[in-house]
Structure 1
Amino acid sequence: MLTVPRRQAGLTALYLGVFATIWFSVPAADQPLRTLLIVASVAALGTAVVGAVVVARSRPEAGAVGDRASDRRYLIIVVAEFAAAGLGAALLAVLGRSAYAPVLVCAVVGAHFFPLTPLLRDPRLRLLGVAMCLVALAGLVTGLASAVVPGLVVGIGAGLLLWAYAVWTLATAPRPAG
């Protein structure tokens, strides 16, 4: 089974736990779904806190990601992701299709995991990327074919995927010695 270094697993859980919390807040939902989304948000935020604790208690491992060139590539990927998502959402708003902004953002987030895979040395990120793109597609199809708001499908799907991946990464991280 593939594992990532403990510190990297903590960072993954921290980031993805926060973003899962944000995705769970996207859909406007009635009760009881609204309550479930709030519970999921709190649980995802708890996962982020566990990730932060793991980072704080871990030392950088030998050969871990984090050199200047890797940091620069990471920053470029993330800036490109935010730019594409932001510009795309703005364009959709101008076109009067802002309900599809979560679909576009989810697809961009899914796509950004592909260049991150070799950089973070975690091939499992490809699975997350494919799954996020499929959630975006499901939101698009649902929005076009029914009265269900695309953000409901995408917010729940993306939140669950990011949260599950954060938990999976923590669960498979090597335990500290001693």
Structure 2
Amino acid sequence: MTTRTGTRRQAGLTALYLGVFAALWFSVPKAEPPLHTVLLLGSVAALLTAVIGAVVAGAGSRNAGAPPRDRAADRRYLLIVGVEFALAGLGAWLLALAGWSAFTPVLVSAVVGLHFLPLAPVLRDRLLRPLGLAVCLVALVGLFVGLGSSALVGPVVGTGVGVLLLGYAVMALFRARVSPR
């Protein structure tokens, strides 16, 4: 059973990591106003969420009764994230070689979405699965947009994934705040 301290620490880490990555996704698209302004505000909100997450995680790890680290889960986490980065990097490189670098955000978002599926049991957060599927859906929409129109893929995928990650980061903080003692 996860203690309240462990839950708050995990929620803080979730908000920290996803807040930072949401800000990165908001910076993917090159956009003109008013979308540029919206993306900038999204980045600021994501970074503020990350800072709050860091504070919550720090407070959770300082409190007595914090659960001990699970070294096996840490190794699985690092393996999953390492594979994610390797696949995204290799895929982006192959797309660039093929002259399809405009579709890099689609590939990377699909890899990011898929990586949440095996992370859900490792992090003991079943809601990462729907997040992963939603991120994959954004990748699919970006693919269809890129193939079916002259619209740029970056704004579609960057905005969509940024909103999903920011929303999940904020939700993690609220879940920790209202979790039972």
TM-score bracket relative to the smaller structure: over 0.9
Partner of 1:18: 20
Structure 1 partner of 2:116? 113
Residue 48 (str. 1) matches residue 50 (str. 2) = yes
Preserved CA contact (<8 Å) 2:135 2:164:
yes
Report the structure, 1 or 2, having the larger helix content: 2
Does 2:156 match 1:160?
Answer: no
Taking the aligned partners of 2:158 and 2:18, their CA distance within structure 1 comes to 14
Match of 1:173 in 2: 176
How far apart are 1:63 and its partner, in Å?
8.5
1 CA distance for matches of 2:20 and 2:81?
A: 15
Residue in 1 aligned with 2:38?
36
Specify which of 135, 140, 161 is matched with residue 143 of structure 2: 140
Give distance in 1, aligned partners of 2:68 and 2:126.
Answer: 14
Partner Cα distance (2:179, 2:87) in 1 = 39
Instruction: Specify every segment of 5 or more residues in structure 2 that has no aligned partner in the other structure, as ranges.
Output: none
1:81 to 84, 88, 99: 84
* Displacement after TM superposition at 1:36 (Å): 1.0
Counterparts of 1:162 and 1:120, CA distance in 2: 16
Is the CA contact 2:113–2:131 (under 8 Å) kept in the aligned structure 1? yes
Taking a change above 3 Å as real, the CA distance of residues 135 and 25 of structure 1, as seen in their structure-2 partners, is same
**Residue in 1 aligned with 2:69?**
66
Shift of 1:32: 1.1
List alignment gaps of at least 5 residues for structure 1. Answer: none
User: In 1, are the aligned partners of 2:106 and 2:153 still within 8 Å (CA)?
Assistant: yes
Matched residue SS, 1:58: helix
1:36 partner amino acid:
V
Q: Deviations over 1:43-96 (max 9, x none)?
A: 100000000000111137868583111111100000000000000000000000
Q: Is the 8 A contact 1:5 1:61 kept in 2?
A: no
Residues 133-169 of structure 1, C-alpha deviation per residue, up to 9 Å, x if partnerless? 0000000000101111111100000000000000001
Aligned length: 176
